[in-house]
Amino acid sequence: MESSVTAGARLDRLPIAPFHYRIFFLIAAGMFFDGYDLYIQAPVLGATVQSHFATLDTARWFVSLTFVGMTLGAVLAGVLGDRYGRRFTYQFNLMLFGIASLAAAFAVNAEMLNALRFVMGLGLGAEIVVGYGTMTEFVPPARRGKWMAFMAFVVVSGLPVTALLASLIIPSYGWRPLFVVAGIGAIIVWYLRKNLPESPRWLEANGRGAEAEALLQTIEREVSAGQPLLPPAPSVVVPSLGWRDLVGPSLLPRMVVGCVTLITINTLIFGFVNWIPTFFLQQGLGVTKSFWYTFVIDSGSLIGCAIGAFGADRIGRRRSIIGASLWAILFGAIYPFVTAPALVLGVGFLLMIGIYVLTAMLYGVYTAELFPTGVRLRANGICNFFGRGFTVFTPFFVVSLLKAYGVPGVLGLMIGLLVIQIVVVALWGIEPAMRGLEDLERDGGASGAVEPVRA
């Protein structure tokens, strides 16, 4: 039965206004601390081992439990987000990793720290799913790709911030204050987000039309500021969906696309990017030089996210993903065979740009758009389950390949996954650029055609 609320059409025809910036700020602030909390892993591990608070064996569990928690948190967030709403779930998971971070600052031993890190992982995995999924449902189609890619930019910016704070704090005060910053920051954002509205799309999809209508009227009054708004596009009949539909003929190909792309990007980040300092040390560079080489190469991450933001709507999702994959394959094939310092830095920097264009597109933009509102978070949670779950085994693959074949072996794994990703996205990937979410839900997007949205 067609809804009389037509939340999607009414949200999609709104002009960008302070309302959208407020929503973006409140969600992005939580996503930033999600990224920060994830990236403090490396400096905290180094500091705890150096101070003998932890050993290499307990440090290994710290990493493993982080990813186990994130894997389970992604699925849990998907179920809760589709069942109880976006607002409840993003507040719950933000409080979860905020309190666990504060508690970690007072851990009395490595085992307690590892247990709290698992709890943090639950919240970190959930924030990725809920944050991107919720923002997708508020932004009009003509700007959705750009805004979502910039959300990924905010998350990735946690990397240089973490590196800077670690260098300033750890030498004088140790590793514990890093968790205090994460915990206090998350709790402040939790308080500020208490007034963040529920998604009208979710309310309508769950039969709460009166609440959706009241909320939409409030949003429209704020955005219009007394000026007339354009009429919404003709309403689209969207069927009610459940778990069984995720393996149906329409959504199963999208599930394959989501799982393959998230496995690929997680492996690129946690199987290559995070291992760059180790690669340099294995190649004989000193610790200081290794740090600066890594810093220069990592600086390509923010540039890659920015390129992804500007290309998502103009170039399109599929072309951006395939193009960035080819770019990463090219420079990934060259990187192991350059030895001159300038070439190592230059090729590594260009490779990093390609990887983080994919990061912006796949984490921030594409996977959240693949699925209908009624199952968006649980489908995205399942895809993140496989993507994050693969990272549990990635260190074993990397170490084995590094011992047997060196850095070329590790890059070979990455290139193989990128080739698979190109094939899957080319065959089954839809093109959501400039299209309303309800339009993608209705026709399955099989044609991949781009329908322009008129302002």
Q: Are 143 and 16 in contact (CB under 8 A)?
A: yes
DSSP secondary structure letter of residue 16: P
The three-state (H, E, C) secondary structure of 390-444, written as one string: HHHHHHHHHHHHHHHHCHHHHHHHHHHHHHHHHHHHHHHCCCCCCCCHHHHHHHC
Q: Does pTM surpass 0.75?
A: yes
Q: How many CB atoms lie within 10 A of CB 174?
A: 15
Q: Which of 305, 356, 303, 299 is nearest to 327 (CA)?
A: 356
Task: Round the CA-based radius of gyration of the chain to a whole number and report it.
Answer: 22
Q: Are 54 and 62 in contact (CB under 8 A)?
A: yes
Please report the pLDDT score of residue 39 as a whole number: 82
Q: Are 279 and 380 in contact (CB under 8 A)?
A: no
Tokens of 355: 């990887």
Question: Rounded distance, CA 82 to CA 52, Å?
Answer: 44
| Tens digit of each residue's pLDDT, the chain (455 residues) | 445 678 888 898 899 999 999 999 999 999 999 888 888 887 887 788 878 898 877 877 888 888 889 889 988 988 888 888 888 888 898 899 899 999 999 999 999 999 999 999 998 888 888 888 889 899 998 888 889 888 988 988 887 788 788 878 888 898 999 999 999 999 999 999 888 899 998 898 888 889 999 999 999 998 887 676 666 665 555 556 667 777 778 889 999 999 999 999 988 888 777 667 666 656 666 555 665 777 778 788 889 988 988 888 888 899 999 999 999 999 999 988 888 888 888 988 999 999 999 998 998 888 888 888 778 888 888 998 898 888 778 777 877 888 888 888 888 999 999 999 999 999 998 888 877 777 776 654 333 444 434 33
Q: Are 260 and 311 in contact (CB under 8 A)?
A: no
In angstroms, how far is the first alpha carbon of the chain from the final one?
28
* 43 residue type, one letter: P
Q: How many CB atoms lie within 10 A of CB 349?
A: 18
In the chain, the domains with their CATH numbers are: 1-228 (1.20.1250.20), 244-446 (1.20.1250.20)
Tokens of 393: 């085994």
Residue-by-residue DSSP string for 91-146: HHHHHHHHHHHHHHTT-SSHHHHHHHHHHHHHHHHHHHHHHHHHHHTTS-HHHHHH
Q: Are 414 and 268 in contact (CB under 8 A)?
A: yes
Query: Measured between alpha carbons, how far is residue 411 from residues 56, 185, 244, 274, 414 in Å?
Result: 26, 37, 38, 13, 5
Please report the pLDDT score of residue 20 as a whole number: 93
Residue 138 CB contacts under 8 Å (≥ 6 apart), including other chains = 11, 20, 23, 199
